[in-house]
Amino acid sequence: MPALIPEALRAAVERLTPSRMPTFVRDLVEATTSAQQEQSLAPLRTFVHMWGVFVAIQRYPSRGAHLRHLEEIVSAGVEDPTDAIAEIRKIHADAAVEAGV
């Protein structure tokens, strides 16, 4: 797991999911701007938490693919999403622990 700093997370996102780099950069700019405007580190902490969990999930391609599958089940609205939602929450919780956030 990379360090929970923007530079390390940027490198991990670029390596694991290059297509997500525009979103990463946009979120970083928004967090930095908000932190300056609010004179608070909270937006940067939120950014690091969100992207740390994302990287922890994407580090394992099968886990990322399984999460996308579960999200598709929920989005489709065809079957009861209760089990899929519970599993999504577990994946995110496990990734947060792994990331140390």
pLDDT score at 4: 95
In a domain, 1, yes or no: no
In a domain, 91, yes or no: yes
Question: In the chain, how long is the greatest CA-to-CA distance?
Answer: 45
Give the pLDDT confidence of 62-71 residue by residue, as tens digits: 999 999 999 9
CA atoms of 91 and 40, how far apart (whole Å): 29
pTM of the model: 0.88
pLDDT score at 8: 97
Residue 99 burial (C-beta neighbours within 10 Å; 0-12, 13-18, 19+): buried
Instruction: Give the chain's domain count.
Output: 1
pLDDT score at 21: 98
Which parts of the chain sit beneath pLDDT 70?
none
pLDDT score at 58: 97
pLDDT score at 50: 97
Q: Domain span at residue 15?
A: 6-99
